[in-house]
Structure 1
Amino acid sequence: MSSTGKPETPETPETPETPETAAAPRSRRRTVPANAVIAVLLALLGFALVVQFKAGNSDAELASARPEDLVRILSDLDSQQDRLRHEINDLEETRRQLDSGAQSRDAALAEARKRADELGILAGTLPAEGPGLEIGFTPGTERIKSETILDAVEELRGAGAEAMQVNGANGAAARIVASTYFVDGDNNRLVVDGSDLTAPYTIMVIGGPDTMRTALNIPGGVVDSVRQHGGTVSLREADPVRVTALHNAGELKYAKPA
């Protein structure tokens, strides 16, 4: 009891620091990285669920597809796989040549010329030859419509066609490129990029013959469509197929080589 009459507050004895109390702050500091790891794991789990959900939807679409659609998809995937495998081999060979010091300049020039030729073939400004098919379209009770020729061109492109032209019985020919259009003309003629072609028509196409033949002969495809109207489609493998018709690219008004 103090002299003022108030009870004295007993002093709280200091608790000695133990290894357990000294490790507590460090334990709390370690919970922060642990929370970050948990957050990352939850994000990865969510991503995996989304991927699995999308894969399930894709499987459902394939399960409901028609057999002829599945054949077409499989054929397109096989042809794309073959093209990609060849491209990988070519690029690896080009890399090996470029890595060699003595041949690097010659290899670079040869690669540039090769790319220029490929672009010229794709643009239709250079002739081309190689293995492929000669496809004849002969009308029956009805004319061969422009949409039928367009369907054939699209099927051939999907099967790996690299160069094409269409010939008419009147001797006219037109190179087929990305911008080519097909229109039904007067007197049962086919108009291709402004050129009038008379039936029967022949598509000269360079590419893998077996893959392109399979693409055209799928059930409900181009060959079936023509036959349903009394027409015929003939497919003859040839090596080489010569694509000589050229596409007029037009003159550049503003652009010039840099």
Structure 2
Amino acid sequence: MSDEQSGTGAEQTGPSRPTGPAAEPDPRPDAPDPEETAPLRVEPQPGETASDGERSDGAEVTVDLSRSVVAGGAPAATPVKRMTSASVMIAVLLALLGFTLVVQLKTTSTDPTLSAARQEDLVRILSDLDARENRLRQDIAELEESQRQLASGAQGREAALEEAARRADELGILAGTLPATGPGLTIRISGGGRSVPASRILDAVQELRGAGAEAMQISGGVGSPVRIIASTYFLDGEGGGLVVDGRRMTGPYSITVIGDPATMRTALNIPGGVAASIKGDGGNVSFEDREVAEVSALHEPIKLEHARPVS
């Protein structure tokens, strides 16, 4: 090997760290480390020389600086986003909440009973609701007027006595101790050769009460009528017939009721209601409007054992 080759073959590893006058290390505290300031050096591979970063075959050596190197020489790992268990749980809860809302909206938006009803039945139901609203508004107006009269000074005592008497009459009608008259309806129920169950009569009474009936009485083919109040009970009699408050009755049955005739008729004729059930069992239900219906049957007042009026 010639001197020229040996001169060019010596690899320069980088500038040496500056030294002081006595060839000592640079005393400056912030002086850079020579290892950090040294340029990147590529180790020669077999068949390569260290001269000017070229291979012996003339190909240029390139250094890939795109990979970052961490301490220890290992390449830095690329950060990967992973879903935690909390994120998965939140996503599942949101999905369940959305599903529940959709099901609830579909359930509340469809009413199978009303959707299967005829247009005439829907009109009757709407009329029933309007009548109830008007009746409640009238009751509110009467109560407000009574309140104003009771608070009107000198007329308060007289108004209080009149209000007490009116309430006593109403309670007497509800308790069955006073007769009553007014517009109403007469309902005739027959079993068509079969006995009408007591449950059907009870359902009819409950529907009439819900439709605003104020006073009722029931009578059979034989015997005197029986006043229907809150404590009235109905039982199936032995061998057919009914037992109403301990009194035996046989069909056909007639219920006289005081209230709004149209509203009560609509309540009994609702599809799948009382009239439809009785007719489905082979019976028959008929209605007769009465301008003046009389409920004359009385219920014996309950004898109080412990309560006493306070004067």
What's the TM-score, normalizing by structure 2? 0.60
Pick one of 272, 276, 298 that aligns with 1:220.
Answer: 272
Contact 1:129 1:242 in 2 (8 A): yes
Question: Is 1:146 aligned with 2:198?
Answer: yes
After TM superposition, list the pairs within 5 Å mapping 1:201-220 onto structure 2.
201-220=253-272
Partner of 1:91: 143
Q: Which position in structure 2 is the counterpart of 1:251? A: 303
Aligned counterpart, 1:6:
none
Q: Distance in 2 between matches of 1:151 and 1:230?
A: 17
Which one of 212, 216, 219 corresponds to residue 160 of structure 1?
A: 212
Deviation at 1:145, TM superposition (A): 1.1
The correspondence of residues 122-201 of structure 1 with structure 2, limited to 5 A, is 122-201=174-253
1:106 maps to 2:149: no
In the TM superposition, what is the alpha-carbon distance from 1:197 to its structure 2 partner? 1.0
- The residue aligned with 2:133 is 81
The gaps in structure 1 that reach 5 residues or longer are 1-52
Aligned length: 205
Percent identical across equivalent pairs?
Answer: 54
Out of 94, 110, 113, the position equivalent to 1:66 is 113
Counterpart check, 1:238 vs 2:290: yes
* More relative contact order, 1 or 2 (CA 8 Å, 6+ apart): 1
Is the 1:141–1:229 contact (alpha carbons within 8 Å) kept by the matching residues of 2? no
| Bigger Rg, which one | 2
Q: Secondary structure at the match of 1:103?
A: helix
Deviation at 1:75, TM superposition (A): 6.4
Unmatched tracts of structure 2, length 5 or more: 1-99
Summarize deviations over 1:215-250 as a string: whole Å, max 9, x none: 111111111112222221111010211111112232
- 1:186-235 Cα distance to aligned partner (Å, 9 max, x none): 23211111111111110110111110010111111111112222221111
Name the aligned partner's letter for residue 98 of structure 1.
Answer: L
Separation of aligned partners in 1, 2:184 and 2:106: 35
Higher helix share: 1
Amino acid at match of 1:238: R
SS at match of 2:201: helix
Deviation at 1:123, TM superposition (A): 1.3
Moved more, 203-212 or 164-173: 164-173
Change beyond 3 A, Cα 1:61–1:247:
farther
